[in-house]
Amino acid sequence: MVRRVAVIGAGVGGLASIKCCLDEGLEPTCFERSEDIGGIWRYTDSTDGGRISVYRSVITNTSKEMSCFSDFPCPEDFPSFLPHSLLLEYFRMYARHFDLLRHIRFKTTALSVKKRPDFTTSGQWEVVTETDGIQESHVFDAVMVCTGHYQEPHLPLASFPGIETRFKGQYLHSQEYKDVEAFRGKRVLVVGIGNTGGDLSVELSRVAAKVFLSARRSTWVFSRVSDHGFPFDMVNTTRFNHFLDWLLPSALMKRIRFRKFNSWFNHANYGLASTKSSNFKVIINEELPFCLLSGTIVLKPTVKEFTESSAVFEDGTTEENIDVVLFATGYIFSFPFLEESVRSLFDDNRSLYKRIFPPQLEKPTLAIIGLVQLTGSVMVGAEMQARWVTGIFAGWNKLPPTSRMMADVLKKKPPVKRNPSERENLKISFISYTDEIASCASVKPSVLRLLLTDPRLALAVFFGPCTPYQYRLVGRGKWSGARDAILTQWQRTLKPLRTRVVDDSSDGSDGWRWMCLLAVPVALAAGFLLSKYPQLGWRPRAGPQL
């Protein structure tokens, strides 16, 4: 029987894991090597000790309603998209509210996590930690690793001939970037056009003499601000859209998605992406298109090589007098504290059952939390993982046999091994994954059941944003405030904007409600008919259960 649980890391995954352990009557002890909670979201000016944190100007890409803990909404006066300081304050509020800090041992590093000699029967682990130079050994019934996927910078210098041998300028990884001052008046080349590369290019363009942004593949850019000024993820991450994505052919959905992206600006004109692209990524950046339009950022293809002071690109062009090369090439994860016999069981998160459990481990007492890339908030995914894992530790949930877990892993693992920094193609649908784990934990809401018992809530769940409160409506951990949190989520979104009230008597809410009422039976009937009689159209892919 699992009782004592070691939690490694006090970032968002660690905090959720501690709380879920307490909910299940377990005894968590969290080891955090720094002096505070928050993980990468606790900004520091220093990069000493290898600790990774966000840069000074960072703001969340997912809105507060779509990113919060499922039973603890963000304060209504917080803006929809949070700077790191407010997000850290929210974490502190969560930790205080659920009394989590007393379970955390700060300035304590986990040096090793090894299976006990009797592991095949006990499932226990020996954890060695170090605090102020003093090592201590502990025995735990289970371990939850919550160190995330931002652990080691991925710096592929071998792919850029001349950067180490000929180039006389400075080069660094984005991990070392904190603010713009060191780049003032310089000609900067940013390599990598992910969210970080886009953000840093825009920020540097305000002070640098010139910024060049090297992109290896097609990139679609969209804004956090969606139709009518609402947060993009709240408008687009809905069960209705997820249902359409399952119901309609993938080629059609791809065309619809590309058309939506191009409705803001034509990406081909900017050299960013083509509708014919098969290998592409999606980033969030409101300012990048204008910087390209105004010439403060110049988009370039892949770097072929470096000379003493210039960068030569694959299209044959050259940019002279480059002062700094900033690599925004992502991160790789590693678990040096895990013994080799355990690390060898998974080469990446795709070798883990449900991205959490090493399937070949004799006892399911090791869980990797937060090592997943989602199209939505990883925070919500990490909390859902922690709820399911602690339910297994407590005996409420069960894992299938090893053979079934291995079959599931092999079925979902891509056949081609990709570059460690290519995260976009490894992303999983937010709703698909959270629903999958919620089903395992028996906390996934049933829209059909809600339609019969609470139609108003059913409409909000199906057509509204898939906020984390939905996973507190049923099952273990059910929260009495979940219904109200769902029905008031738009009020909390608009509240911080009501600093100057204007008179607007137009109200289209009644029409919207009627549209929803008509759309529900139509959508359900269409799904039923096409599933039962495929000759009426195409055969739907395996997808969501309503």
For 152-191, how does the pLDDT look when each residue is reduced to its tens digit (9 = 90+)? 899 999 999 999 999 999 999 999 998 899 999 999 999 9
Please spell the DSSP secondary structure of 100-169, one letter per residue: -GGGEETTEEEEEEEE-TTHHHH--EEEEEEETTEEEEEEESEEEE---S-SEE---GGGSTTTTTT--S
Q: Is the pLDDT of residue 507 over 90?
A: no
Are 8 and 143 a contacting pair, CB within 8 Å?
yes
State which residues form the domain around 117: 4-151+333-412
pLDDT value of residue 529:
47
Q: Is residue 88 part of a domain?
A: yes
pLDDT category at 440 given cuts 50, 70, 90 is very high
Q: Is residue 448 part of a domain?
A: no
| Stated pTM of the model | 0.91
- Same domain (yes/no): 396, 340: yes
Distance of CA 344 to the CA centre of its chain: 25
pLDDT category at 413 given cuts 50, 70, 90 is confident
pLDDT category at 332 given cuts 50, 70, 90 is confident
Give the Cα separation of 526 and 336 in Å (integer): 51
Give the Cα separation of 8 and 387 in Å (integer): 16
Q: Is the pLDDT of residue 349 over 80?
A: no
Which residues does residue 305 pair with via DSSP β-bridges, in sequence order? 312
Q: Is residue 417 part of a domain?
A: no
pLDDT value of residue 527:
54
Q: Is the pLDDT of residue 246 over 60?
A: yes
Give the Cα separation of 540 and 108 in Å (integer): 51
pLDDT category at 466 given cuts 50, 70, 90 is very high
pLDDT value of residue 415:
58
Residue that is written with structure tokens 């180039």 in the block = 167
Give the Cα separation of 68 and 492 in Å (integer): 12
pLDDT value of residue 508:
44
Side chain identity, residue 62: T
Q: Is residue 445 part of a domain?
A: no
SS3 462: helix
pLDDT value of residue 450:
97
pLDDT value of residue 346:
82
The CATH number assigned to the domain holding 208 equals: 3.50.50.60
What burial letters (b/e) apply to 492-516, b meaning 16+ CB within 10 Å? bbebeeeeeeeeeeeeeeeeeeeeb
pLDDT value of residue 521:
59
Quote the mean pLDDT of the chain: 90
More confident residue, 418 or 222: 222
Side chain identity, residue 331: Y
Q: Is the pLDDT of residue 514 over 90?
A: no
Closest CA to 60 of 88, 37, 26, 34: 88
Are 307 and 164 a contacting pair, CB within 8 Å?
no
Distance of CA 168 to the CA centre of its chain: 37
Whole-Å CA distances, 160 to 7, 14, 168, 198, 202 = 39, 37, 14, 20, 23
- Same domain (yes/no): 82, 65: yes
For 193-208, what is the mean pLDDT?
97
Domain-ending residue, one of 297, 330, 363: 330
Are 352 and 371 a contacting pair, CB within 8 Å?
yes
Which residues does residue 415 pair with via DSSP β-bridges, in sequence order? none
Q: Kindly report, residue by residue over 82-103, the tens digit of the pLDDT.
A: 999 999 999 999 999 999 999 9
For a pLDDT cut of 70, what percent of the chain falls above it? 89
- Same domain (yes/no): 312, 352: no
Give the Cα separation of 144 and 125 in Å (integer): 11
Give the Cα separation of 448 and 243 in Å (integer): 13
Q: Is the pLDDT of residue 210 over 60?
A: yes
Q: Is the pLDDT of residue 49 over 70?
A: no
SS (H, E, C) 2-17: CCEEEEECCCHHHHHH
More confident residue, 70 or 520: 70
- Same domain (yes/no): 191, 290: yes
For 408-432, what is the mean pLDDT?
70
Give the Cα separation of 292 and 250 in Å (integer): 31
- Same domain (yes/no): 341, 322: no
- Same domain (yes/no): 238, 263: yes
pLDDT category at 460 given cuts 50, 70, 90 is very high
For 434-462, what is the mean pLDDT?
97
Number of domains in the chain: 2
Q: Is residue 249 part of a domain?
A: yes
Give the Cα separation of 219 and 416 in Å (integer): 21
Domain-ending residue, one of 330, 345, 370: 330
Number of H-type helices and E-type strands within the chain: 18, 20
Structure tokens belonging to residue 174: 């984005």
Q: Is residue 141 part of a domain?
A: yes
pLDDT category at 60 given cuts 50, 70, 90 is very high
- Same domain (yes/no): 256, 305: yes
- Same domain (yes/no): 134, 223: no
Which DSSP letter does residue 336 get?
A: T
Q: Is residue 467 part of a domain?
A: no
Q: Kindly report, residue by residue over 293-329, the tens digit of the pLDDT.
A: 999 999 999 999 999 999 999 999 999 999 999 999 9
Which DSSP letter does residue 94 get?
A: H
Q: Is the pLDDT of residue 254 over 60?
A: yes
For 224-241, what is the mean pLDDT?
95
Are 43 and 53 a contacting pair, CB within 8 Å?
yes
Q: Is the pLDDT of residue 241 over 80?
A: yes
Please spell the DSSP secondary structure of 208-250, one letter per residue: SSEEEEE-SSEEEEE-SB-GGG-BHHHHH-BHHHHHHHHHS-H
Q: Is residue 434 part of a domain?
A: no
- Same domain (yes/no): 167, 266: yes
- Same domain (yes/no): 70, 200: no
Give the Cα separation of 1 and 204 in Å (integer): 54
Residue that is written with structure tokens 């055969």 in the block = 539
Which residues does residue 319 pair with via DSSP β-bridges, in sequence order? 311
pLDDT category at 45 given cuts 50, 70, 90 is confident
Q: Which residues contact 174 (CB under 8 A, 6 or more apart)?
A: 55, 153, 192, 196, 197, 200, 326, 327, 328, 329
Q: Is the pLDDT of residue 407 over 60?
A: yes
pLDDT category at 546 given cuts 50, 70, 90 is low
Which DSSP letter does residue 194 get?
A: S
For 112-135, what is the mean pLDDT?
97
For a pLDDT cut of 90, what percent of the chain falls above it? 80
Q: Is the pLDDT of residue 533 over 50?
A: no
Distance of CA 62 to the CA centre of its chain: 9
- Same domain (yes/no): 163, 290: yes
pLDDT category at 540 given cuts 50, 70, 90 is very low
Q: Is the pLDDT of residue 515 over 60?
A: no
- Same domain (yes/no): 53, 95: yes
Say what the alpha-carbon torsion angle 189, 260, 218, 246 is, to the nearest 10 degrees.
Answer: 130
Domain-ending residue, one of 330, 347, 368: 330
For 245-269, what is the mean pLDDT?
93
* 49: region left, alpha or beta (phi > 0 left; psi from -120 to 50 alpha): left
Structure tokens belonging to residue 225: 């601000």
